[in-house]
Structure 1
């Protein structure tokens, strides 16, 4: 249950003299504390934290210098950093829905199962060295929930084709966006592959935006 050590730890295998355990990697632990400080004290968003880490060329666990939002988001939710590594957070269960990539392939998938989140009370905990205090860790989910409720990107009124459109050129999904003129707000769909903020640092598609109307 400890073999997949998160950023900040090194997994040490079981030996004849002791059980397996997490060993703190101080350089990575400093990054973890910095991320929590930026999020809970300086109130930077996940996107701003991601950009800051990339601008500073902070290495990820794999040695890659590029961070994405999902890595930061997962770090802010991992109880290992407060001293409780957890096993059983997800479970393989029958697939519940057809995702966008599956829809492009006609709804067919070689695997009939998918990972689904398990209730907190079903997780199995084990003690590991903590990197941050419980007070700091408790602030992170509060801010994540507040961001979810009050974010400008929050979808209050769904669009007709939301989460259904796929770019026929590059295969990335189309997301909702909008622009404003002096008289009105113009909603449209935009291809994810046309953005320069992606990990590859350049556009992979020249698809134009599509007006929702």
Structure 2
């Protein structure tokens, strides 16, 4: 009833009230396919003294008994519409669970059709390479998302800022299809049939950055060779960082560390640098004791990392437990002990926990295989600390 032609007709009927007493149409489903809207329009026409009438399904709606038939005529097309919409919804949801992307391909992909008529998506260049670059750079935490969007636009990515914010969180780029929550089935993702543009680890690192859980903070201090301690020394009077600069003498420049405040602190840079080197020599390891230091540090590290070893064992046990839970749930589904949607929910929950535990396992295992080499390098630096400086 919001179509322009009907609105124009209704306006004419109101303007020429009393000159029309009948509105004809072929069937009641041509009048409306929504029962609520149909009853409301029948009342509006009735107030204007106009009777709606179907040519092939004539009804005298002034007779109370005919209202039952009218209700059927109006409800049947609405039920048909709802059934068609529900079938379409379940069909699209089933296709998503099979790993198929429904609808227009997102940026970086293109829609294609196989020889047997099945639709699918595949990466398309150069958009796919740009999206991969976006996730790689975003996962480092060195960029703001607006900077990433502008840089990607300069590279040739054609999308607006608002759309970029939405697509960047889509797990389709790591090879997974999102399934929305429906009734008792929780929202989850399934492995897609398409090729991923980025790995899951890079994708979830980027998501951590977007969610504020992985934003490294870094301070860079730049100093010339003659003022290596500029920005690292603290003023003994006011507590500010000492800066450094050169003063022109009669025959050359003399460098000083000084404070910008009114306290007037100022030190000769050459003398301070020599005193700092002499101080570093106090912390130099005797080369004859180098092997002993390495052995002691290994023992101390093993003592402190015993808790990590226990956690590593616990993580492995939890991984095995979740995998066993999926296997048991699969057996129960095959034996009709649980329903299919219950198995999918159990599997989705377990896979989510497995992914978290696998990342934790990587963090706990990282660096342990070459700890002896790292300790050797660190103590090697301490053997000649002042020369390294």
Interval containing the TM-score (normalised by the shorter chain): 0.3 to 0.5
TM-score normalised according to structure 2 size: 0.26
Structure with a larger share of its residues in strand: 1
Bigger Cα Rg: 2
Structure with a larger share of its residues in helix: 2
TM-score normalised according to structure 1 size: 0.44
RCO (CA 8 Å, sep 6+): is it higher in 1 or 2? 1
